[in-house]
């Protein structure tokens, strides 16, 4: 048997178990975030927009961006950005116009109605941040630690994608 056995060491197996649990939590938290936004909007009687679209409006905020920039800047993580942009324009949450320089590109920005949705999501997030802190769920040091760890994983995954080709 070679020294480079495919059987993981006990520590590696434990790390793999932790890694898979972390992946499951990240995925579950994203789905829960969308459910939390959906529930808030139902409570507010806002029914013509879904949670993904509301999160997109929140992430764009006061910026004016092209559709291509939405993913590169991290404003949108889904695969159906064109569909959601079209729906947001149709429902009056977003303005769009062709770029003067590159007529193929479309620039988007929020309407007053879109800014109201962004503000509602911001209010929800502020309430949650206060709740996490007030109830002792997490303090600033814990938040910094989680954020730092997630950024390191993000960099690692980005490097994996970048160096695959």
* Structural domain containing residue 19: 10-134
pLDDT digits (tens, 9 = 90+) for 11-57: 788 999 999 999 999 999 999 999 999 999 999 999 999 999 999 99
Which residues does 67 contact at the CB level (< 8 Å), separation at least 6? 81, 82, 85, 105, 106, 108
Can you give the CATH number for the domain in which 88 is found? Answer: 1.10.10.10
10: confidence class by pLDDT, cuts 50, 70, 90: low
Q: Is this model's pTM higher than 0.85 or not? A: no
Positive or negative torsion for Cα 146, 152, 155, 159: negative
8: confidence class by pLDDT, cuts 50, 70, 90: low
pLDDT digits (tens, 9 = 90+) for 104-128: 778 899 999 999 999 999 999 999 9
Considering the domain boundaries, does residue 90 fall inside one?
yes
Mean pLDDT of 81-88: 88
Considering the domain boundaries, does residue 61 fall inside one?
yes
CB atoms within 10 A of CB 54: 24
Give phi and psi for 108, each to the nearest 5.
-125, 150
Considering the domain boundaries, does residue 92 fall inside one?
yes
Of 48, 46, 47, the C-alpha closest to 123 is: 46
């Amino acid at each position: 048997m070679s020294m480079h056995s495919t059987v993981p060491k006990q520590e590696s197996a434990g790390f793999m178990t932790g890694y898979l649990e972390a992946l499951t939590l990240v995925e579950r938290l994203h789905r829960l975030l969308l459910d939390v936004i959906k529930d808030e909007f139902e409570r507010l009687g806002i029914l013509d927009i879904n949670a993904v679209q509301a999160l997109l409006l929140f992430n764009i905020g006061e910026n004016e961006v092209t559709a291509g920039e939405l993913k590169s800047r991290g404003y949108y993580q889904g695969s159906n950005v064109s569909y959601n942009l079209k729906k947001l324009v149709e429902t009056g949450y977003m303005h769009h116009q062709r770029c003067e320089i590159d007529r193929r590109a479309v620039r988007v920005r929020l309407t007053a109605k879109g800014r109201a949705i962004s503000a509602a999501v911001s209010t929800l997030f502020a309430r949650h941040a206060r709740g996490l802190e007030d109830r002792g769920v997490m303090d600033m040091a814990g938040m910094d630690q989680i954020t730092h760890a997630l950024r390191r994983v993000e960099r690692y995954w980005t490097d994996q994608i970048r160096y695959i080709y």
